[in-house]
Amino acid sequence: MTDTASAPEYAIEVENLQKIYAAQGKVPEKHALKGISLKIPRGSIFGLLGPNGAGKSTFINILAGLVNKTSGTARIWGLDIDEHPRQSRAAIGVVNQEIVADPFFTPIEMLDLMAGFYGVPKSERQSFEILKAVGLDDKKDAYVRQLSGGMKRRLMVAKALVHNPPVLILDEPTAGVDVELRRSLWTYVRELHARGTTIILTTHYLEEAEELCDSIAIVNHGEIVACEPTPKLLARLDYKTLVISPKQPLESVPETLRALDATIRRSGDLAITFRTSETGISRLLEQVKDAGIGIGDLVTETPDLEDVFLSLTSEPA
């Protein structure tokens, strides 16, 4: 599929991308993307992280050719989407947020149809191999309506891969997906990445982006508010909260722990926030024990997306 373009430095390059959805009836116009510029290096696993309504799907759908941009430029695999609409789209496989699967076809038929749609010659189609890779080979002749939600999701991934694109884009692929499927999906995505596919995924879970992505762009209200290698982004969030359920309820923070960032929660739990680079948990636990507190249970809480936004807006970058 990519024989027409030699491997570019960036899988995706967008410059000042804007999208204004026109007003419809009583719904006012919506400035969904306010000038996004982004370069996604070839070979990366890139995360587009942001809350619902941030503009993630709009961005993906413009690349996929499902939404018309208002202004700006976009290149996929070095190809401008206006100048080379067909070729540029052949370089990406997109797994949409919504599951759309025609109930009257079997998985193998769907993949063959899709391959035909992309103009993949019969001799080069790998429908069965792809089904096998996503663990649906035993369902190849089942009706799609008989598949579970998780299986349909995997079929969507398979559909996006029929033309062997160098870039795979997944829009919130784990929304409404159980833990087991999430794991197997990620294992497969990592395999694809190891074989050279550039991966772009959107999510509103920091944890998910953190676990998978080597770089993360944070998008909020149609703007990129941060774009950094994952470790650098996480370094901004260099703290955790240790929450201890004491064996005997506490009324106040013991004298010896007052120097720490410690509070008593309404539940009676003791919460201590600490910098992970400065303080070890074992050291904290010793202090807690020295204060005469019996530990009934404990958990650590890590910062989430809300906290990222707070840290981005409260500290100069």
Report CA-CA distances (Å) from 119 to 128, 248, 254.
17, 70, 71
Torsion, CA 169, CA 227, CA 220, CA 42, rounded to 10 = -10
Residue 32 lies near ligand ADP (rule: CB under 6 A) = yes
Given the complex with Mg ion, which of 100 and 317 has the nearer CB atom? 100
Asked if 230 and 200 touch (Cβ cutoff 8 Å), the reply is no
- Amino acid at residue number 86: R
Nearer to Mg ion by Cβ, of 115 and 217: the residue is: 217
What is the three-class DSSP state of 44? coil
Contact between 2 and ligand ADP per CB under 6 A: no
Query: Which 36-55 residues touch ligand ADP, going by CB under 6 A?
Result: 50, 52-55
* Residue 152 contacts ligand ADP per CB under 6 A: no
CB of residue 312 to Mg ion, shortest distance in Å: 21
Helix axis angle, 179-194 to 149-160, nearest 10°? 10
Contacted by 58, from ligand ADP, Mg ion, none: CB < 5 to 8 Å by type: ligand ADP
| β-strands 45-49, 198-203 pairing | parallel
Binding positions for Mg ion, rule: CB under 5 A: 56-57
Q: What is the CA radius of gyration of the chain?
A: 24
Taking the complex as a whole, the smallest distance from the CB of residue 288 to ligand ADP amounts, in Å, to 41
The region of 56-64, 124-132, 154-162, 267-275 touching ligand ADP under the rule CB under 6 A is 56-64
Please list the residues that pair with 228 across neighbouring strands.
216
Comparing CB distances to Mg ion, the nearer of 57 and 88 is 57
Q: Which is nearer to ligand ADP, 50 or 78 (CB)?
A: 50
Rounded Cα–Cα distance for residues 153 and 174 (Å): 9
| H or E stretch covering 230 | helix 230-235
By CB under 6 A, residue 57 contacts ligand ADP: yes
Q: Is 21 in the site for ligand ADP (CB under 6 A)?
A: yes
- Measured from the CB atom, the residue of 36 and 115 that comes closer to ligand ADP is 36
Contact residues: ligand ADP, CB under 6 A: 21, 30, 32, 50, 52-58
